[in-house]
Structures are given as structure tokens and as C-alpha cells.
């Protein structure tokens, strides 16, 4: 978000955009001023997203093969957490809240897990 502080209570900014004024009520951006600094935002972005949080691929050996090696069960699997996020958001993760965090940090890293489930 951009806030517009003034020097000696004079409003100023370096962005050349069409601000709302009483004379130009159809302009796209809100008028600048010092009344409420936290509500003047020109850099709000669409944060909608679709996230695939977990994909697991596994294979269980058939019972006929397990009988030959005297086992009751054998399963091999590979799992990945947070593999895909579909979004037009330009930061690293649309779920991260805060200006500084969204530029370089994801609180939801991609994690790979593989393993075996054995039953004797």
C-alpha cells in the first residue's frame, strides 16, 4: 500500500494517476490526504488462488507376491505437500499476509516424503 505523507501538511506524491476530487468524481483512484493514512491504497492486488496441498502416489504389492516372501503387506509411497498454487498473485504465496513476507518468504514450503509400509 502507498500512503501519501505531506511536508508541512501539504499533500504530495510521485505517482501520476487520476485521483478523485470533488470536481472529478469519476476518477479511478481515491483522493489523497492526511485524514486517514491507512485507507489509501493503490497497490492492492487480487489474492484469489487455488492450492493443491497434498498429492500421494502409492503402490501395494499384490497378495500373491507377498505370500512368496512371507509378508502380509508391502506398500511403497511418495507424497508431496504444497506442490502447486495457481494464482495471478506476484508474491511468493498468496496465503502469506504482510508486505515484507509476501516478497521473499513462503510459510508453506514444498515437502517431499517417501516411505514403506510393511506388515509381517
Ranges of each domain in the chain: 1-44, 50-119
Q: What's the whole-model pTM score?
A: 0.56
Q: Are 43 and 1 in contact (CB under 8 A)?
A: yes
Give the residue, 8 or 108, on which the prediction is more confident. 108
Q: What is the per-residue pLDDT for 109?
A: 86
What is the C-alpha to C-alpha distance for residues 115 and 75, in angstroms, rounded to an integer? 8
**Residue 111 · residue 81 · CB < 8 Å:** yes
Q: What pLDDT score does 67 carry?
A: 93
The Cα 115–Cα 92 span in angstroms is 29
Per-residue pLDDT tens for 86-96? 988 777 777 77
Amino acid at each position: 500500500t502507498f500512503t501519501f505523507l505531506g511536508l508541512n501538511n501539504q499533500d504530495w506524491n510521485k505517482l501520476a494517476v487520476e485521483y478523485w476530487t470533488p470536481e472529478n468524481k469519476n476518477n479511478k483512484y481515491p483522493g489523497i490526504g492526511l485524514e486517514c493514512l491507512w485507507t489509501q491504497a493503490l497497490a492492492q492486488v487480487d489474492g484469489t488462488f487455488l492450492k493443491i496441498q497434498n498429492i500421494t502416489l502409492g503402490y501395494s504389492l499384490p497378495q500373491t507376491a507377498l505370500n512368496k516372501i512371507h509378508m502380509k503387506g508391502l506398500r511403497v509411497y511418495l507424497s508431496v505437500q504444497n506442490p502447486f498454487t495457481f494464482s495471478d498473485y506476484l508474491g511468493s504465496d498468496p496465503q502469506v499476509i504482510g508486505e515484507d513476507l509476501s516478497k521473499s518468504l513462503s510459510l508453506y514450503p514444498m515437502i517431499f516424503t517417501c516411505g514403506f509400509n510393511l506388515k509381517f
